[in-house]
Chains A and B, each alone.
Chain A
Amino acid sequence: MNSDIEGLGAVEIATAVRAGRLSAVRIAGAALTRIERLNGSLNAFRVVLPERVLAEAAAVDQALRSGVDPGPLAGVPYGLKDLFDVEGLPTAAGSKIGVEGPPATRDAVLAARMRAAGAVLLGVQVMDEYAYGFTTQNAHFGTVANPHDPERTAGGSSGGSAAAVAAGLGALALASDTNGSIRVPASFCGLFGLKPTFGRLPRTGSFPFVFDLDHLGPLARSVGDLALAYDALQGYDAGDPACVDRPAEPVGLEFASTPLRVGVLGGWFHDMAAGAARDAVAAAAEALKARKRAELHGAEAVRSAAFLITAASGANLHRRNLAERPQDFDPATRGRLLAGALLPADAVIQAQRVRRRVYEEALGLFGDFDLLLAPATPVPAPRHDESTIELAGQSVATRPNLGALTQPISAIGLPVLAAPMQAGSGLPIGVQLIAPPWREDLAFAAAARLEAAGLSHSKAVGP
């Protein structure tokens, strides 16, 4: 009955709803039906909000009947990672402690902007506890399955959000990325994901992880859908001290076709990538006419800096609960937070110094290149029980290394768009399109070229 509309993207839905060809209520009903059918096996949503869904969709249809433009995301169903405030719900952030807390009194700023743009909120999505993980295996709320292969991880920490969009349980999701939590699940689930420049999108009303590294951004199945969401989200908000007061710079849906000087990141980004990841980068490089290699010599050091800052900041954030109710933490999170509390201040200050140095090194690369290209993950999605992976001829632990290629980029705040490619195995794997600060438009332009070439594509999977 709904098969004609279940896989539609955000641009298609908004265009059809605004033109009166589809009602937002019908789109919303189809999304709820699909969630009812698939969420049991995927575990993507922790909470679904059918009453709110239908009320928001009805408001969109009513606006249209009244001659009011409901906005660029009219009737587009989407989900929120479980760390955005949603009025009336406790903000769990994947934790038992959070779910026992008081309900939020208002929506997060980005959720409010989505609503103002006409989008319809489906519910909140499963994540690693406190966003500290890359596999979304949550002791309290279960493991998220990858829609491409349920025996494999969807990635993390935004695993529920990525699995939902990949399976067509909504056209979009909003998520967070501190060390790679948008880009890793985008890579494993075959999606486009954007981690904007640090300070671009306000985090007001979202549960923090690492104040100095937290970014918010969208996940989508096409470049156009990602751009539509990103443009609706932009704008300053004084509630986030890190948000930079600069005007919105919409990327639109017509992307620049001027030549791009693209450098392929070598060194760490080559050595820590297995064959499928290297093949994906080579295919993207060919399409983008990227012939030159670029070296970010500080990549490994700044990844280590991110590792320490994350552990120390996370420990500081949760210190009281770690002391008073440690038994209520996910064991996968607790040990790392407690260990983070033991780090000397000297090391954390030095880690911040490393960030500054490597940021300056990266800015130097943009004198020669408009964009940098790198794998998003070392491998395609591992199986849930795959405890080691082969990298650089060595067997290394899976979980700590899934973010090895994303951490160096978020640590220095550069905008990066993860674009899905195909691995030889048939599983998706992502590449990172890394731009200079505030030049998200360049990453969109490159992603659009990969998509137009048929290399980078995504569609809703599942029955």
Chain B
Amino acid sequence: MADDTAHDLALVLSLAEVFGPPIQPTHLDEVVAAWRLMRPHLDRVRAADLACTEEPAALFRP
């Protein structure tokens, strides 16, 4: 479990470095906890059996 946390911490820091906004050291625990909560949803959505040619729902409304 400690290894998982260390892994997630490293992942979050590396992603934040590229995509930002910067994460204050005092807020890191919150972000790692949120990332861990989000990760199963990310995996589930990516695993959805959908053709990439299927039209997504979209924000643009002509």
Contacts and interface: CB of A to CB of B under 8 A. Distances in A.
Contacts of B54: 353, 356-357
A88 interface: no
Interface string A376-402: 000000000000000000000100100
Given A335-B30, A339-B35, A342-B35, A308 B42 contact: yes
B2 interface: no
Contacts of B30: 331, 334-335, 338
Contacts, number: 109
Contacts of B29: 335
A66 to B, nearest CB: 43
B31 A335 contact: yes
A350 B21 contact: no
Interface bracket on A: 35 or more
B38 A308 contact: yes
A357 B51 CA distance: 11
A347 B34 contact: no
B1 interface: no
Nearest to A212: B59
Contacts of B19: 341-342
A26 B46 CA distance: 58
Contacts of A397: 37
Contacts of A355: 56-57
A326 B57 contact: no
Interface string B10-50: 00100110011111100101110111011011101110101
A349 B38 CA distance: 16
B42 A343 contact: yes
Interface bracket on B: 20 to 34
Contact of A308 (B22, B41, B56, B59): B41
Given A242-B61, A304-B40, A339 B12 contact: yes
A306 to B, nearest CB: 9
B14 to A, nearest CB: 9
Interface in A202-245: 211-212, 241-242
Contacts of A334: 27, 30
A451 B31 CA distance: 44
B11 to A, nearest CB: 9
B3 interface: no
B55 interface: yes
A121 interface: no
B45 A308 contact: yes
B57 A359 contact: yes
Contacts of A241: 61
A322 interface: yes
Interface string A349-377: 11111111101000000000000000000
A189 B50 CA distance: 39
A279 interface: no
A241 B60 CA distance: 9
A97 interface: no
Most buried by B among A338, A340, A346: A338
A299 B61 CA distance: 25
A311 B44 CA distance: 15
A356 B35 CA distance: 25
Contact of A342 (B15, B40, B44, B45): B15
A319 interface: yes
A19 interface: no
A336 interface: yes
Contacts of B20: 323, 341
B56 A356 contact: yes
Interface in A290-328: 300-301, 303-305, 307-308, 311, 319, 322-323, 326-327
B45 A301 contact: yes
Contacts of B12: 339, 342
B41 A338 contact: no
Interface of B: 12, 15-16, 19-24, 27, 29-31, 33-35, 37-38, 40-42, 44-46, 48, 50, 54-59, 61
9 pairs of A and B residues whose beta carbons are closest in the complex: A335-B30, A352-B56, A323-B21, A339-B34, A304-B41, A335-B34, A342-B15, A353-B56, A355-B57
Interface of A: 211-212, 241-242, 300-301, 303-305, 307-308, 311, 319, 322-323, 326-327, 331, 334-336, 338-343, 346-347, 349-357, 359, 397, 400
